[in-house]
Structure formats: structure tokens, C-alpha cells
Amino acid sequence: ALMAKIKEKIAENKPSTDAELEKIINDAASELNISLSDTQKQTLMDFFNKLKELDINWNQVGDQLQDAKDKFNAFIESEEGQGFLAKVKEFFASLVDA
């Protein structure tokens, strides 16, 4: 939950300095009643700075995940998806029978 809260705050506030990032981490931790050691804070800062270097657009990541989820759900509900699930069930049933 802490990582999700930090990502959410980074997407909203787009920190440009370590001090801004540290404030986001501290705020997220205090909102969730989590106390972090200096080492844990530094690890989180290093992690999110690495991600920042990769220039990840968090909103886009969320959109892509939703898109993938929608496609998966559409496949599962389709005739082809139902056939696939039936084959998977048969396969496991045959293992149990063997």
C-alpha cells in the first residue's frame, strides 16, 4: 500500500528534487501510519529516483494495465476464451484421474 500511495503522490506532485521526493515518502508513510527508518527512506528514494531516470509515465502505466485487463476479460468472456478454459479444466481433470 505504501508503494501505491507514493506512486500516486509522485504522479500528482511530480517532484523534481530529492527533498520533494523525501517529503512525498514521509507524507505517504505518515498517512498510512508507517514509520520508516532512514535506511528504508533512502532505499525508497533510490528506487523512485531510478524509476524517474527511466521516465515512467505513471498515468500511462495505469491506462496500459487497465487496457490489458479489459482485453483479458473480453477474451475470457468470448467463445474462444470459454473453449480455452474448458480445455484447461479437462487437462487438470485428466491429471487427477491419472
Q: Which residues of 77-91 are buried (b: 16+ CB within 10 A; e: fewer)?
A: eeeeeeeeeeeeeee
For the stretch 36-72, pLDDT in tens is 999 999 999 998 888 777 766 666 777 877 887 888 8
Torsion of CA 85, 88, 92, 97, to 10 degrees: 90
Residue 77 has pLDDT above 80, yes or no: yes
Domain ranges, ordered by start, for the chain: 2-56, 61-97
Say which residues have a Cβ less than 8 Å from residue 82's Cβ, sequence separation at least 6: 76
Q: What is the model's pTM?
A: 0.55
